[in-house]
């Protein structure tokens, strides 16, 4: 089956610093990638949708200048949390979709990245 | 946009009994309803899904039903086992559409009592 990886799996940083999280599709080309945030004991909340080569579409209430998303290639999307604060501490999960045609619109989830901001 | 509500938030059942989790969705254009199981600190795992042109689907001990008119769908787990303990999420999306983002319900923490 399709595999999506994330790096790092966990990160601890100081308040005010920026953190970059990578999401890679390992055995397929992902035209669309999604970024979710999950706080403890809560659901996955969609943050943004990114299409390769174009600007990400952010969900209402998500600060685009704080959560920078780049989907520069068909196998890599990055999420950068800028000027991180303790309230940004969360589990960040990406998912990737190959395309819409031919039954390839299934989304495959990455293993998640746990961010702790001190 | 789509809104998915899920009940109950916690569920405890005796091993061997059945568990039922219910969800409702708001967007009548949604046509794909996956269910995910998530263990602590791990990615959500797709366990079963149903499309809007089907009313019921079964896979061994797991079944899902869909009532399009009422915009309700449910997950049924029979003969529950300890390894079924996890958090379960229902979700809805518009599959085959460029807008096919998955919107999750709030989750149900299922505990199986030995």
DSSP string, A36-100: EEE-TTS--EEEEEEETTS--EEPTT--TTTEEEEEEETTEEEEEE-S--GGG-EEEEEEEE--S
Residues near B3 by beta carbon (within 8 Å), at least 6 away in sequence: B25, B26, B27, B103
Chain B residues within 8 angstroms (CB to CB) of chain A: 1, 41-44, 89, 95-98, 100-107, 109
The answer to whether the CB atoms of A42 and B106 lie below 8 A apart is yes
Mean pLDDT of B54-76: 96
Name the strand (E) or helix (H) holding A10. strand A10-13
pLDDT band (50, 70, 90) for residue A101: low
Of B101, B106, B109, the CB nearest to A46: B101
Which residues are bridge partners to B10 per DSSP?
B109
Which residues are bridge partners to B23 per DSSP?
B6, B73
Of A43, A100, A107, the CB nearest to B105: A43
User: In this predicted structure, what is the pLDDT of residue A79?
Assistant: 97
Least reliable range by pLDDT among A20-29, A102-111, B42-51: A102-111
Report the side by side order of strands in the sheet with A76-81: A4-7, A19-25, A76-81, A67-73
Name the strand (E) or helix (H) holding A111. none
E strands within chain B?
4-7, 10-14, 19-25, 32-38, 45-51, 56-59, 62-67, 72-77, 86-92, 103-104, 108-113
Of B43, B97, B107, the CB nearest to A112: B43
Whole-angstrom distance, CA of residue B113 vs CA of residue B72: 28
Interface A-B, measured as beta-carbon pairs within 8 A, has a size of 42
pLDDT at B10 over 60: yes
Phi, psi of A103 (to 5 degrees): 75, 20
Q: Which of B43, B29, B4, B87 is nearest to A36 (CA)?
A: B43
How much of chain B, in percent, has pLDDT values that exceed 90?
A: 86
pLDDT at A43 over 80: yes
The answer to whether the CB atoms of B104 and A110 lie below 8 A apart is no
Q: Which of A82, A23, A26, A12 is nearest to A49 (CA)?
A: A23
CA-nearest residue of chain A to B99? Answer: A49
The answer to whether the CB atoms of A43 and B89 lie below 8 A apart is yes
User: In this predicted structure, what is the pLDDT of residue A102?
Assistant: 55
């Amino acid at each position: 089956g399709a595999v999506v990886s994330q790096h790092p799996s966990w990160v601890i940083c100081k308040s005010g610093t920026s953190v970059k999280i990578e999401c890679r599709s390992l055995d397929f080309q992902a035209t669309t990638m999604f970024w979710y945030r999950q706080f403890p004991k809560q659901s996955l909340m969609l943050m943004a949708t990114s299409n390769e080569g174009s600007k990400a579409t952010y969900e209402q209430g998500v600060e685009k200048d704080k959560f920078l998303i780049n989907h520069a290639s068909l196998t890599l999307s990055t999420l950068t949390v800028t000027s991180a604060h303790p309230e940004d501490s969360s589990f960040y999960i990406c998912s990737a979709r190959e395309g819409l045609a031919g039954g390839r619109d299934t989304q495959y989830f990455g293993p998640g990245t746990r961010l702790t901001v001190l | 946009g789509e809104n998915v509500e899920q009940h109950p938030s916690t569920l405890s059942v005796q091993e061997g009994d059945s568990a039922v989790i219910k969800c409702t969705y708001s967007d009548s254009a949604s046509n794909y309803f996956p269910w995910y199981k998530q263990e602590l600190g791990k990615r959500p795992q797709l366990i079963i899904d149903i499309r809007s042109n089907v009313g019921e689907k079964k896979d061994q001990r797991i079944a899902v039903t869909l009532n399009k008119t009422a915009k309700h769908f449910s997950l049924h787990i029979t003969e529950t086992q300890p390894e079924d303990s996890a958090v379960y999420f229902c979700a809805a999306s518009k599959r085959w559409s460029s807008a096919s983002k998955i919107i999750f319900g709030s989750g149900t923490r299922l505990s199986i009592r030995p």
